[in-house]
Amino acid sequence: MYETSAPSPPVPAEPSDSGTESGLAVVAAPPLRRFYVPVRIKYLLVLAVAVAWTALSVMLSAPWLHELSKPLGFALALFVIAFIAYVPGFMNAFLIGSIVADRRPRWREVAQLPDVCVLVACYNEADNIADTLESLARQDYAGRVEVVVVDDGSTDDTLAIARTLAERHARPDLRIRVLAQPLNGGKSKALNRGLAETDQPLVITVDGDSYLRQDALRKLVLRFLSDPAGTVAVAGAVLVRNSRDNWLTRAQEWDYFHGIAAVKRMQSMYHGTLVAQGAFSLYTRQALEQVGGWPECVGEDIVVSWALLKSGARIGYCEDACLFTKVPSSLGQFARQRQRWSRGLMEAFARHGSLLAKPRMTTLFIWWNLLFLPLDLVYTLAFIPGLVLALFGYYWIAGVMTLLVLPLAAIWNLMIFRVQRHMFKSQQLQVRRNVAGFLFYTLGYTMILQPVCVMGYAAELLRMRKTWGTK
């Protein structure tokens, strides 16, 4: 999906008399827009539109509810329809409204970029770590960067390769250190060791199977410096690097390019991206230390993000700080990865469920995530069997009424594609053709994804063994 020409030029350092913001850099405020709608007003307007759409869906679905009540009973029929049509419809309508209303905060002029450390926790990444370090060495960041590779007891040549690359790329403004954990102890332990052995005010995490655009660090830091007060973390844009491997990676390309990017845009607009993902995110050291660093669990990135949100902080999103990662290319790898994500969500609720009662705009998205479990259950145990029944002429669950959600989904896909394509164009990137991957993403991807998520929920409830693995 991604073709590139020349990288965007670095931002020139210009003098500013605005003083120091957060003790990190000298910045000048961006020019004010002539017409500005406060975020809270946008939130209320978008929420009203989504509620209105849901109300219309309830009205139109009355015959469907009546027919499905005959074999299932009213209560169960209402539950099934709610999580097949009402809830997804509300979510899609809210997403569309948010994307329409979204206006990214303008970048500030920066006279001096702060020192940053980049933590690369890795385990058995011999095939990838060289590319990751090469891309970090090519960054156009006009400040001092320290890269700390923490090898978490790899059994392959990851450690040796990292040490070789560290010596090769050392220069005055770039220091690369390699730390070796004696045993595989998990990603959170590796990251916390890196945090303890550095002192820069800004901490950036990067996965060991990734490749960063030349301007990725600069744009991520500039986004942080330009975002509203109270921002303590910014998630970067994670995209798929190995999309041409097979049908599964082609579908995941659209998942990252459309689904994940759209949700992060929406959440950051309302001051609370729910996951500053470990693959590529920026944090302030002060905020990390206040919450005790990364917790020991499989979903360390979502759990630490929720801890930051609980403190009242804001987490942003930088849509044009691009990192390309290798996604799972086999069903087994994909299932293990998404099960870990599902377990991480449950860990976040277990530790920070009080966010459900916190009075802020992003509380809606905490409740939104709470609905994932019944959504996945209904899709797996009701909708997929309903499709099978429809093949035999029984249209109780999957029928004409279920098609009403398709226009809204199509509008959402077209809108986020337009937004993402514009972002790509601004970076001299081009969206490559991936029609087959898109068709599978829209028609069959969830039939694999949601049953896998249900398995992850079950594994967490049964307290099965947890590992962070290589994917």
Report the alpha-carbon angle 253-206-370, nearest 5: 65
Instruction: Give me the torsion for CA of 325, 329, 330, 334, rounded to 10°.
Output: 30
Does residue 119 sit within a domain? no
User: Is the separation of the CB atoms in 437 and 253 below 8 Å?
Assistant: yes
Report the alpha-carbon angle 356-361-366, nearest 5: 35
Tokens representing 127 are: 């095939």
Does residue 174 sit within a domain? no
Does residue 48 sit within a domain? yes
Give the helix/strand (H/E) hosting 332: helix 331-352
The CA distances from residue 150 to 128, 190, 301, in Å, are 14, 6, 17
Range of the domain at 49: 1-112+213-471
Distance of CA 21 to the CA centre of its chain: 27
Q: What is the DSSP string of 213-276?
A: -TTHHHHHHHHHHHSPTTEEEEEEEEEES-TTS-HHHHHHHHIIIIIIHHHHHHHHHTT--S--
User: Is the separation of the CB atoms in 308 and 314 below 8 Å?
Assistant: no
Rg of the chain on CA atoms, in Å:
23
Report the alpha-carbon angle 323-226-241, nearest 5: 5
User: Is the separation of the CB atoms in 165 and 211 below 8 Å?
Assistant: no
Does residue 184 sit within a domain? no
417: buried, middle or exposed (CB in 10 Å: 19+, 13-18, 0-12)? middle
What's the structural domain count of the chain? 1
Report the alpha-carbon angle 119-323-9, nearest 5: 105
Count of all residues that appear for the chain in the document: 471
Does residue 181 sit within a domain? no
Tokens representing 443 are: 């028609």
Spatial distance between the Cα atoms of 116 and 201, rounded to a whole number of angstroms: 7
Report the alpha-carbon angle 459-464-465, nearest 5: 130
Which is nearest to 445 in space by CA: 167, 248, 308? 248
pTM for this one?
0.87
Instruction: Give me the torsion for CA of 292, 295, 299, 305, rounded to 10°.
Output: -10
Q: What is the residue-level pLDDT of the chain in tens, covering all 471 positions?
A: 544 443 333 333 333 333 333 446 555 555 555 667 889 999 999 999 999 999 998 998 888 888 889 888 999 999 999 998 899 889 989 998 998 888 877 778 788 899 999 999 999 999 999 999 999 999 999 999 999 999 999 999 999 999 999 999 988 899 999 999 988 889 999 999 999 999 999 999 999 999 999 999 999 999 999 999 899 999 999 999 999 899 999 999 999 988 899 899 999 999 889 999 999 999 999 999 999 999 999 999 999 999 999 999 999 999 999 999 999 999 999 999 999 999 999 999 999 999 999 989 999 999 999 999 899 988 888 888 888 887 787 777 776 666 666 677 778 778 888 888 888 888 888 787 888 888 888 888 988 998 999 999 998 888 887 665 544
Spatial distance between the Cα atoms of 162 and 179, rounded to a whole number of angstroms: 10
- Provide the 3-class DSSP secondary structure of residue 180: strand
HSE of 180, CA atoms in CB hemisphere, 13 A: 12
Does residue 274 sit within a domain? yes
Does residue 364 sit within a domain? yes
